[in-house]
Amino acid sequence: MDWISKLEEAEKNFEKLQQKLSDPNIFSNPEEYKKTSKLHSDLSDIVSKYRAYKKIHSQVDEAKHLIAEGDKELAELAQQEIESGEKKLEEWEAELKRMLVPKDPNDSKDIILEIRAGTGGEEAALFAADLFRMYSRYAEINGWKMEIIDMSETGTGGFKEIIASLEGKGVYGKMKYESGTHRVQRVPITEASGRIHTSASTVAVLLEPEEVDIVFRPDEIRIDTFRSSGHGGQHVNTTDSAIRILHIPTGMIVTCQDEKSQHKNKAKALKVLRARLYDMKISEQKAMISENRKKQVGTGDRSERIRTYNFPQNRVSDHRVNLTLYKLDRVLEGDLDEFIEALRVWDEANKLKEVFV
């Protein structure tokens, strides 16, 4: 189906919904009224734009007709109208096509952020800490709430792993592009010869599902308690407040000992487990829908090297959109929007190709 056919279909659906809303009987069913109103509202902007587009198209056709009739007095004015109208039609065509791309219904949802040190030993752990600080700053800039769920520190201030929740407006919509392998090139503090080392850390952005999305049967999980020890080896308490949850069908294990309360640790661990299982479920669905999507932004492919941070050159390069910025210091302070916007545009372009193939 071409894009005009899709717009015609959208307009027909809009008119049907309008008729439905004008029927007084719909008010007797509040749920149906709410659903119909939302669908009508969702189509309102694109139908309005399409109708205006058709009006301009009609004006351009009329102007062409005047020139064809050979009316010299009106020909110049008609030509001006054609040129102006065709320019506007071209702009609106691009906008209408963008509006036809289905919006990601998950963009407004909260996330679980997992950062793990990869290849590179202690240097990778220190880089994981840099990434966590970068996302913490980005969360502050956007007014999001960040809460640490669990972490495993090293003796030098790095993280083997750190897990946190992020809540706020449009969290997933911006953070979904961060999943993948992040590579760092710099001279480690312990390197006496000044040689540049390359190491990496992985970032996973997991949607935080509602409890109804992922439901456990009692025989599917095993919950163990153990005595928690504090970060950096310090002792937290003498009670068995730490929680370890095993999801038996998948063998997935989640631990949480960040809180002194066993109840709070259990709630946090279940939140992480649900997010990981939900991510697995979504990944399987995406794989079934299209194998090609594995190569595109937002697949959550953890093995893909997505970005390189080069400290000697103060350079950051995103390999998906071939964007390089020489402001590493600012990026590490949370200045990520230039990358996020470039990725959003690229992702949208890929989706446009899918819609209009």
pLDDT band at residue 285 under the 50/70/90 scheme: low
Contacts of 341 (CB under 8 A, 6+ apart): none
Q: What is the pLDDT of residue 304?
A: 61
Q: What is the pLDDT of residue 235?
A: 43
- Separation of alpha carbons 191 and 222, rounded Å: 45
pLDDT band at residue 236 under the 50/70/90 scheme: very low
- Separation of alpha carbons 9 and 66, rounded Å: 32
Torsional class of 233: left (φ above 0), alpha (ψ -120 to 50), beta (otherwise)? left
Q: What is the pLDDT of residue 295?
A: 39
Q: What is the pLDDT of residue 269?
A: 87
> 197 - beta bridge partners?
186
pLDDT (tens digit per residue) in 240-265: 678 888 888 888 888 888 777 888 88
Residues of the chain with CATH 3.30.70.1660: 111-212+297-353
Q: Take residue 243 and report the two structure tokens written for it.
A: 């929680």
Mean pLDDT score across all residues of the chain: 84
3-state secondary structure of 301: coil
Residues of the chain with CATH 1.20.58: 3-100
Rg, Å, the chain Cα set: 27
CA distances from 62 to 74, 82, 162, 178 (A): 12, 9, 64, 50
Q: Take residue 85 and report the two structure tokens written for it.
A: 């109208």
Contacts of 241 (CB under 8 A, 6+ apart): 225, 227, 228, 257, 259, 260, 261, 262, 265
CATH architecture of the domain 111-212+297-353 equals 2-Layer Sandwich (3.30)
Residue 113 φ then ψ, to 5°:
-105, 125
> Helix %, strand %, coil % for the chain, to 5?
50, 20, 25
Q: Take residue 57 and report the two structure tokens written for it.
A: 């198209």
Which is more confidently placed, 182 or 305? Answer: 182
pLDDT band at residue 171 under the 50/70/90 scheme: very high
Q: What's the topology of domain 218-283?
A: Double Stranded RNA Binding Domain (3.30.160)
Q: Take residue 345 and report the two structure tokens written for it.
A: 């545009």
Q: What is the pLDDT of residue 319?
A: 95
Question: Considering the entire predicted model, what is its pTM?
Answer: 0.67
| Of residues 67, 61, 52, 66, the one with CA closest to residue 86 | 61
3-state secondary structure of 357: coil
Q: What is the pLDDT of residue 186?
A: 93
Residue 311 φ then ψ, to 5°:
-70, -45
Let me know: does 32 contact 20? Beta carbons within 8 Å. Answer: no
Residue 164 φ then ψ, to 5°:
-145, 155
Contacts of 232 (CB under 8 A, 6+ apart): 153, 155
Q: What is the pLDDT of residue 341?
A: 93
pLDDT band at residue 301 under the 50/70/90 scheme: very low
Q: What is the pLDDT of residue 211?
A: 58
> 111 - beta bridge partners?
166, 207
Q: What is the pLDDT of residue 66?
A: 81
Percent with pLDDT over 70 in the chain: 87
Which 3-state string (H, E, C) describes 73-134?
A: HHHHHHHHHHHHHHHHHHHHHHHHHHHHCCCCCCCCCCEEEEEEECCCHHHHHHHHHHHHHH
pLDDT (tens digit per residue) in 268-283: 888 888 888 888 887 7
Whether CATH 1.20.1250 fits 3-100: no
What's the CA angle centered on 301, arms 300 and 307, to 5 degrees? Answer: 95
Residues of the chain with CATH 3.30.160.20: 218-283
> 307 - beta bridge partners?
182, 318
3-state secondary structure of 24: helix
